[in-house]
Structure formats: C-alpha cells, structure tokens
Amino acid sequence: MAEKYTNFSAFYAFYLTEHSNRTCRQLHFMGSSLVLLCIALFAYTGNGQFLLGAPVCGYGFAWIGHFMFEKNRPASFKQPVFSFMGDWVMYWQLLTGKISFGQQDTTRKT
C-alpha cells in the first residue's frame, strides 16, 4: 500500500482488493465473530481475560489470512483506524451477503 488514504470510501475500495482470497475473508469473519463473542462473554462474566482475548482473536485470524493465503501485509500496519473500520464494514457485508464467503475474486491483479 503505497498511497495514504484520506477518506474511508477510497480506502475501503482498496481494502476490498486486499481481501480477494476467500480463505482470508473467511478467517477475518471467524476472527471478528470471536471478538464479538469475547466481548459478550466479558459483559456476561466480568472476566477481563475475555477482553484480552478479543484482539488476539481478531488480529490473529486476520494476519494468518493475510500472510498465509492472501500473501500481503495487513492494511492495519499502515492505516490502522481505516483498517479497523474496514474490518467491520466487510464483516457486515459478509453477514448480509453483499460480499461472498466462497467465491474467489479472480479480478485481482497479482
């Protein structure tokens, strides 16, 4: 990512190109779902260890997706705020079917 984005809309278009691998998207979704579970468990139990587990789950699954399957560096290294926002927009779009879980994006340039 050479360009520094100044608005989220432009960044998100780039962000989606960095998540064209279906396994990477699936791992992002799994990690984000576990983050939500950790937060819910913390709210239910009051055990702070669940809050410590949230970023481990979120970033752990995402980074495995990027380094092992997508073969790129996570955008969170350069633009962490937009990347965090992008994670949750993509999560919602996966959840609602706007983005496919299973279809491999073949339009990405390598």
Domain extents for the chain? 16-95
Residues of the chain with pLDDT > 70, as a percent, come to 91
Find the helix packing angle between 49-64 and 22-45, rounded to 10°. 180
Token couple for 57: 């789950």
What mean pLDDT is predicted for residues 45-52?
98
SS3 state at 100: coil
- As a whole number, mean pLDDT of residues 71-88 equals 93
Give the pair of three-digit tokens for residue 96.
């609602």
Does position 86 have pLDDT exceeding 60, yes or no? Answer: yes
Going 85 to 86 to 89 to 94, the CA torsion angle's sign is negative
pLDDT over 90 (residue 22) = yes
**Which of residues 101 and 93 earns the better pLDDT score?**
93
Question: Is pLDDT of 110 > 50?
Answer: no
